[in-house]
Amino acid sequence: MPPPGGYCVGVSALIEATGSLKMKNSAECDIQESCADRSWPDLNLIQMLSGGPMIARTFLFAILVSAPGAALAELEFCNSTDDVASVAIGYKGPQGWTSEGWWNVDPGDCTVAIRGDLPLTHYYYRVVSPSWTFDHERYMFCTSQRVFTIVGDTECEARGHAREGFNEIALEGRSAFTVEIGGGAPEREDDRLPSLFDDLLDTSPQVESDPPGTHGDFKTLSGLFSHCADFGDEIVCFFTTQGWVIGVAESGPTPLPIILDLEDRPVNTPMQFSGDVFEEYDGRALMALSDYMVTSPDEYAADRAAMQGVWEDVEGSAGRLDVFGSFLTQIYPDGQTDINVMHFRQGCPGSGGDGVALRLTPDDPADDEQCAFLSYVDGDELDLLYVDTTGSGAAPVPISYRRAR
């Protein structure tokens, strides 16, 4: 049964997206609200966890986003069509969401919209050309037929502007980008994208879903798809990102083809995923997932994979560990069970040490987080060093495990 006060009491807050990430088609506001009108499985969070993005575009619409050589730091548009293309851009400026235009790009030519390093994580753009169709208009900004700089992305028509769709550029740590309009230009070797973009076409199914902002605050996040759990009349899938866990389900509502596609994905698949966050509280959130794409593994992928499975304490005093996806269940000799969300990081807070560590966020927000250094892991052995993060001065506790047979 849900905890007292409804399921929201046991579901915790997604980290608020900051910087330049645009949450379109919804107001920028506090989305923590009552669960009264929300639909979610009648399941305890512990039961759920024990179930053993950027917008995921296809890029087949002939916009190829590429990173120039390191010496060139700018946002550039190159036109490989046979007609002049006009470009507008959007970004999060000091005064709020800002749009600017137009830059005219002649056929076979390139134009720089922003010179120098790009300090934001996300930019947005719109292209108008008589010989090319601009698709995937998901992010709304104000525009004008004349040259413009417009601050604010709401009440466009009331202020004498148009409101039109833009596409997103996620820089992913890069200081420069080139957007090719039409996709016909030959690829230069130094323009080739790193491995992150080699997987761009591994995306969610193309399905009809509600417009962004229908159910809550639209967000694009990077993290791990942990796993899906089948509860008979409901399949629930889990993502982790920056210390938070996000649940999605068909009743969320997330389109069923997306849920079924996730069911077939390997545990701990790195993804960028997008959707409406409609409840958040204390480290967990519910999302109506709209799309996702597979990205490159992080530096902890091999250790995370090696830890999957059931482990038994060599001494017999600490019980067992059951690691599945991004969740670690501690099963003690007295039968008590603690479920934790497992986040890999460098070092433990306040420990003074360094190395690969596990931040263990408990299912019960009233419990303290744990942190343990991953001393060793292979096919049959796992050594963890649990350290004090509360400042009590407690000595580290080493525990050795063997894979259960």
Closest CA to 164 of 114, 101, 107, 243: 101
All structural domains of the chain, each given as residue ranges with its CATH number in brackets, are: 7-16+30-55+202-294 (2.40.50.140), 63-196 (no CATH), 301-403 (2.40.128)
Residue 265, burial from CB neighbour count under 10 angstroms (0-12, 13-18, 19+) = middle
Report pLDDT for 231. 77
Structure confidence at residue 31 (pLDDT): 27
One-letter amino acid for residue 317 of the chain: S
The three-state secondary structure class of 197 is: helix
Give the pLDDT score at 201: 62
pLDDT along the chain (405 residues), means of 10: 26 29 35 30 36 25 28 74 91 92 89 84 90 76 93 93 90 77 48 43 83 88 91 87 85 88 94 89 86 89 94 89 94 89 85 82 83 91 89 85 91
What are residue 329's DSSP bridge partners? 322, 339
Confidence at residue 374, expressed as pLDDT on a 0 to 100 scale: 94
d(CA 340, CA 362): 4
Q: What pLDDT score does 322 carry?
A: 95
Return d(Cα 117, Cα 286) in angstroms, integer.
36
